[in-house]
Amino acid sequence: MSSEDVIIKTEEAKKNSIKELLKKLSSSETGLSTLEAEQRLSQYGPNEIPEKKVNPILKFLSYFWGPIPWMIEAAIILSAIIQHWEDFWIIFALLMLNAVVGFWQEHKADNAIELLKKKLAQSARVLRDGKYIKKSAKELVPGDVVRVRLGDIVPADVKLMDGDYLLTDESALTGESMPVEKHTSDIAYSGSIIRQGEMTALVAVTGTNTYFGETTKLVEEAKTQSHFQKAVIKIGDYLIALALGLVMIIFVVSLFRQQSILQTLQFALVLTVAGIPVALPAVLSVTLAIGAISLAKKEAIVSKLVAIEEIAGMDILCSDKTGTITKNEISVAEVKFLTGFTENDVILFGTLASREENQDPIDDAIISKIKTMDAINESLTDYKVTVFKPFDPVAKRTEAAIETADGSHFKVSKGAPQVILALSLYEEAISNEVNKTVNAFAAKGYRALAVAKTIGDQDNWQFVGLFALYDPPREDSAETIKIAQTMGVNVKMITGDHTAVAKEIAHQVNLGTNIMPSSSFLNKSDREATRIIENADGFAEVFPEHKYHIVELLQNKDHIVGMTGDGVNDAPALKKADAGIAVAGATDAAKSAADIVLTKPGLSVIIDTVKESRKIFQRMNNYSIYRMTETIRVLFFITLAILVFRFYPITAIMIVLLALLNDAPIMTIAYDNVKYSDKPETWNMRTVLGIATVLGIIGVAVSFGILYIGLEILHLSHEVLQSFIYLKLSVAGHLTVFVARTKGHFWSVKPAKQVVLAVLLTQFIATLITVYGILLPAMGWALALFIWGYALVFFVITDFIKVQVYKLLDHGEIKFTR
């Protein structure tokens, strides 16, 4: 039986268990006090869904006996078979060191991600001590009264108590794609998304006892790889194939020369280790995790780590207007009334069609307006809202049924002018006046909101008037858009507002006023629609499906597209975009669909995120160049020395030291200082392979130079010569880090302290080992200092060659900025 079948079969049982729990709760409860809630919280525990836990011992063993270092374990076994006990214990100790370092680094990365998850904790509007407050969903307890509305994710299993209806999306729980309608006394499940409506509900079940909590035990989330992860893995595969090919040549030649099969096999295995990027998974995860922490400090919480790479390559940002380019501080700028009504009527009926507990910015603006007018505000007590229909993004209006003090009834509605106009009697007679007012408001950058009321309780609507709502641009929007454009990011405004309003705001922030209505690309061929979208500065009067279509068409032209949004209606486009960005104040549904969640309003946060992501990309790019260079340098040198000179330049133990001891500190590259590109990042394999090949070949030539000096000039013994060559490979290898990390000269970007200290510490250890013969034959300080001087001289020469190669490869087209 599939997990989906199990979920469906347990649904009825789940409903019954919830109903039993509800019976235990007092039907008269209307919200707990803070003290009662704290007592219940201590009884029930935090409302958390447990994640799959990994046994730390098994996790540690996975580093000791994992898919990458298995050849090292094979070398240990062969060392025991041929009774090379010294080799056996040294390799074992180094393998243990690798396991400890890998385990500790991933443990730190996991902790970093957990901290970020806490910042994305779901919240709920809960009734405590007689008023609604925002609390973490973890703090809900059975008996709490919560308010759920459009865009919320239901925070617990709840019984609906008051309100008209809800449409809930339970697809994540049951696989059913169609929204489910819920009414009073129905149960709404934790994890479902509110698509329409708003209601008051009683919390029944929290945490692992919820329907969603049970479901998560049956269904695991699939993990996906980003483009950059795939590219890095391809590099790893390439290096492994190269290592295996060269080692196979050595093995065949050794057999032909009738050398010991077991000793040759041991050497071949550990040589393969030198070409395998043992630290690659750890470097990747740690770099992304540390980068995510840096982004969190910039007020951008990464919910999907792979999004960091997508942000680095983003070349088009489709930005929402409200709350991103503008302040989202809506106020009533003007009020216009039609014949037969007054300004007070517009304000009164607009307020009756609003609901304060929803904390909606438009509702808040109208309510704030009436609170400044004492006479009208006091008259609100003469009206009672009997039914309230919340804002629907499709219908684009709210509606309320009103009962007056004398017992009469009527309805009020507020919403988009064209929608309210279509409801109204005498539509044709007043349409010119309404449209003229809307256009006049739009020319000033104001958004029009219409108000209507019925004659009696029938659907005979009268157009009452309009509010002019103003949401001013943020002070930093114009400068931020300019910076984005200089960084190669094309910003396009996407809004549901009137075209004239969008044009005025775009003009104020110097975005460009080629703002098109959504109708400009609808019903066009994909080729024509894409051309219009690429050339436009933005789009107005956009519906959710239009946003999705815009992203899809741009992606089909190989653009990396970022999309900002805050509402449940933005969720499809956020999920479709390469980098979905939920802006500050976004609904839970938008946050769950997005890759990055902003906790600070404005575009500047996004630009900070782009800069930080490009830095993270650079660190991974630098590591890839370093890793490929080292493989080419070590493998080709050893292979050619064995084939041409019939000389093993280093021993198996030395290779293990190079592979493990040198790879451990390279993880500090996650903290390195880098410069970000002023263009969107793309994986340029031509440049990476070109630079790595040149640096690797230079390294091979320099290594043969030290071999010649040791043999022909210094006349070193075989054993000392191997220590001599080992120290050169170790020191030059870590100096390669400083060559690979910059496009300019090594001093053009100051390395991080962590990188410098890691290199100095490991190479100091390597030097002591060879000087005093701790694990290897001793060679003394004189030879060690000669190696350091030799390596430093060729490090500088190699760096100058690298700069010239970069100029040939990219012709200086890519500029870098602090």
Residue 408 to residue 405: CA distance in whole angstroms: 8
Using the structure block, give the residue that is written with the tokens 């053009």.
Answer: 748
Using the structure block, give the residue that is written with the tokens 């805050």.
Answer: 566
Of the candidates 707, 713, 690, 705, the one whose C-alpha atom is nearest the C-alpha of residue 801 is 690
**Structural tokens at position 617:** 């990309």
* DSSP per-residue codes, 193-204: EEEEEEEEEEEE
Cβ neighbors of 651 (< 8 A, separation 6 or more) are: 267, 722, 776
* DSSP per-residue codes, 677-743: ESS-----HHHHHHHHHHHHHHHHHHHHHHHHIIIIIS---HHHHHHHHHHHHHHHHHHHHHHHT-S
In this structure, the strands spanning 447-454 and 409-415 are antiparallel
In degrees, rounded to 5, the angle at the alpha carbon of residue 53 between the alpha carbons of residues 47 and 56 is: 135
* DSSP per-residue codes, 577-598: SSEEEEPTT--HHHHHH-SEEE
Identity of the amino acid at 205: V
Inter-residue contact 635 to 242 (CB < 8 Å): yes
With b for 16 or more beta-carbon neighbours within 10 A and e for fewer, the 182-207 pattern comes to beeebbbbbbbbbbbbbbbbbbbbbb
DSSP state, 322?
I
Positions annotated as catalytic residues are: 320
395-403, long-range: CB < 8 A, 24+ apart:
395/419, 398/353, 398/354, 398/355, 399/353, 400/352, 400/353, 401/457, 402/352
What is the three-state SS of 132-146?
A: EEEEEHHHCCCCCEE
Residue 56 to residue 62: CA distance in whole angstroms: 10
